[in-house]
Amino acid sequence: MVRGRFDARAVPAAIGVAVMLTLAVDVAIIAAHDGEAAVPQDFQFSNEVAGSPQQAKQITVAPLKKRYTPHLLIASPAELPADAAARAKRIKGVKVAEVVDGAQTYVAGRLVGLLGVDPSTFRNLAPKESAKLDALWKNVAGGDAAISFQGPRLGTVVAAGAQQRGASVRVGAFAALGVPTVQAIVSREQARRLGLAHGNAMLVSAPKQNLPKLRKSLLKLLPKGVKISILKQQATAPVQVAQTARSPLTGVNGCSVHMQAVRNEIDAATGPYLVIGCARPGDPQDHGTGDATDFMVSSGGRMPGAAGVAKGNAAAGYAISNWQRLGIKYVIWQQHIWNPSVCKCWRPMADRGSITQNHFDHVHISVLH
């Protein structure tokens, strides 16, 4: 994988208003190079220690409630006060004040306005066609990006945000987002991993109010340096939501954004799985850094049946077929390892004594950090 860089100081500093909503970090560009490295004579196949994921959870979002149109975008060069939303709601006519994270950064090679949002509440501010689709908001809650521009393929991994924080997300939906100058959204958890400032923006809905007058009132209540833009109503657009199997997940906290994106794409393309596990605190290898995922095809340390083997073959095959684009480091399955930095082939591994340690009940996939 070849990683590109850009000068963060050269990034325009506004999302619709002239304020500092920028990333002070680099962006990774997912690319690839041809050629094959020589096999080191002292190369170790892998010292990855396998474990069965525990405490799996499903991704959920709150149902759509009453839908509102965003009328004002408030943006600050620093985090807004903790009571900023409460202050705004005290003004007569303000129905919604939603704090979000904002930045201008690159997504799929395009400089866009990106917001980190709570999918369960932000959906109430989205256009009707987008707001009503649970699958769209589950995808965002699960680590995907919803974007309003064309270019990348739906359901695939693209470069996004901070290079040192993972640098990629899966495109989970094409949809109108309801906020002019904002072309992409992710969950607030994902926004932090991508390097966005925290809580530095707010959306306000105030139907039937005098917006210039409301703007002046808010400027008096909020800190100096805050900028407020009156939003034009955004046209609706057809919505496309990427397929997702959404297997039960574990090890979500600490899973890198790159690994999440790869996990989501493979899960959607080949899942569902019994459980998918990512981060394991204290693990000395890739699970410890959040750069590895286990796709479980049988439970209880038992050998999988034919359906489980087929599912494992599908996960491993998908990762290998797309290894350059996805930034795959290596794949382990059925006591064999596929590591493209050594050779693009399956090589046998030593017997470690159990079905789990020999990776017969799960496929292990690591990505480049």
pLDDT at 268: 95
What are the tens digits of pLDDT across the range 217-270?
A: 999 999 999 999 999 987 778 899 999 888 999 999 899 999 999 999 999 999
- H or E stretch at 149: none
What are the tens digits of pLDDT across the range 95-151?
A: 999 999 999 999 999 999 999 999 999 999 999 999 999 999 999 999 999 999 999
pTM (2 d.p.): 0.81
Which residue reads 């309003």 in tokens?
Answer: 148
CB distance 239 to 350 below 8 Å: no
In whole angstroms, give the CA distance from residue 234 to residue 126.
Answer: 10
pLDDT at 223: 94
Q: Is the pLDDT of residue 93 over 60?
A: yes
pLDDT at 58: 82
Q: Is the pLDDT of residue 17 over 50?
A: no
What is the CB neighbour count within 10 angstroms for residue 190?
27
CB distance 94 to 204 below 8 Å: yes
In whole angstroms, give the CA distance from residue 304 to residue 312.
Answer: 9
Tokens representing residue 169 in the block: 């997300």
Map out the domains of the chain as residue ranges.
8-26+61-240, 243-367
- The confidence band for 195, taking pLDDT boundaries of 50, 70 and 90, is confident
